[in-house]
Amino acid sequence: MSIITIDLDGTLINDQHKICDENIQAIQNAQNQGYEVVIATGRAYFDAKEILKKNNLSLYIIGANGATIHNMAGENLLTVPMPTGHVTRNIMQWLEEHQYYYEVFCEDGIYTPSYGREILNTELAQERQFRTADRIDVMEVALSKQLGQIGFRQMHGYQDFFANDKKIFNILVFTFDEEKKKRGIKKFKNIPNLTLVHSSPFNFELEHVDASKGNALVYLAKKLGIDLERSMAVGDSGNDVSMFKVVSDSFAMTNADGDIQKQAKYMTKNNNEQGVAHAIYQFLGKNK
């Protein structure tokens, strides 16, 4: 037995926000040959599940960058929440005071301040004044993807949120302002027990230091009795590197940044050229 682990955005999903038939067939092909196929994404479980359902795929889902694992029946196998109390409260308070758009991933939804979209629209209007049309296109696509997630719940602010005792899996900060992003990263990169990762050029995400795609994959493989020494993973971003490190055959997409590509053993094609199917067939061929 062997595991094939696939990232969603920028990997399985193309720039038109679709999973192409060739990729779906490659996954089903691997499943028919007895391979376990797992999705590992920064997205919340319910959001990722909806995307798979639309494409007739039923797979294990490592969600929120490894803070959750769910099986095909929707049962939760693992949660790695962020430290509760003042740590997360202080983060949200600071983000609000400094006018950041952010999302809090919980079991029952993605909580976000109601004024958040206005912040992003203002940032985008500022960027329009000096960015090229191509760059603005990229930003608009990123924005529609961000706001197109399933499961949003509006809140007035962090005080509202902390009235209930909820497990937090992930805090995602999204901004078009490069300097603002840098200031946020500087503020939060060294908080004890937290880790900071990126799943897009416009975001950073905070979660428990033990939550990573790689750790979740190790946990799941152990539970399923599968050896990762004969397994593959494919991805395109910083949040995929932890899983590259724990499998025998790691594949980077050609649309990944150069430093991400360097961390993978193999390269596949890009996300608009069915890079996932290409990687899967290469892996299956090798293991015949």
Q: Is 249 a catalytic residue?
A: no
| 74 φ/ψ sector (left φ>0, alpha ψ -120 to 50, else beta) | left
Q: Looking at 3, 4, 6, 7, which residue binds Ca ion (CB under 5 A)?
A: 7
Count interface residues toward Ca ion (CB under 5 A): 5
Site for Ca ion in 153-212 (CB under 5 A): none
Q: Out of 65, 146, 149, 237, name the contact with Ca ion by CB under 5 A.
A: 237
| Candidate ranges 75-83, 119-127, 175-183, 234-242; the one touching Ca ion (CB under 5 A) | 234-242
Give the residue at shortest CB distance from Ca ion: 10
236 touches Ca ion by CB under 5 A:
yes
Least distance from Ca ion to the Cβ atom of residue 200, Å: 7
- In the chain, DSSP finds a helix count (H) and a strand count (E) of 11, 14
Of 69 and 260, CB closest to Ca ion = 260
Q: What are the residues whose beta carbons fall under 8 Å from the beta carbon of 109, sequence distance 6 or more?
A: 44, 46, 151, 152, 153
- Of 84, 88, 44, 66, whose CA–CA distance to 246 is shortest? 66
Residues 86, 89: Cα–Cα separation, whole Å: 5
- Residue 165: CB minimum distance to Ca ion, A: 31
CB of 90 to Ca ion, least distance (A): 29
Q: 10-39 mask for Ca ion (x: CB under 5 A)?
A: x-----------------------------
45 with 77: CB under 8 angstroms? no
Judged by beta carbon, residue 205 or residue 249, the one nearer Ca ion is 205
The H-assigned helical ranges of the chain are: 21-32, 45-54, 86-97, 116-128, 133-147, 158-161, 178-188, 213-224, 241-244, 258-263, 275-286
Contact indicator for 250, 260 with CB cutoff of 8 Å: no
Rounded to a whole number of angstroms, the minimum distance from the CB of residue 266 to Ca ion is: 17
Nearest distance in Å: CB 18, Ca ion = 15
Q: Which is nearer to Ca ion, 3 or 13 (CB)?
A: 13
Q: How far does CA 110 lie from the centroid of its chain?
A: 14
Which residue in 7, 177, 236, 249 is the catalytic one? 7
Closest CA to 34 of 2, 58, 71: 2
Which residue number, 88 or 237, has a Cβ lying nearer to Ca ion?
237
Catalytic site positions? 7
Binding site for Ca ion (CB under 5 A): 7, 9-10, 236-237
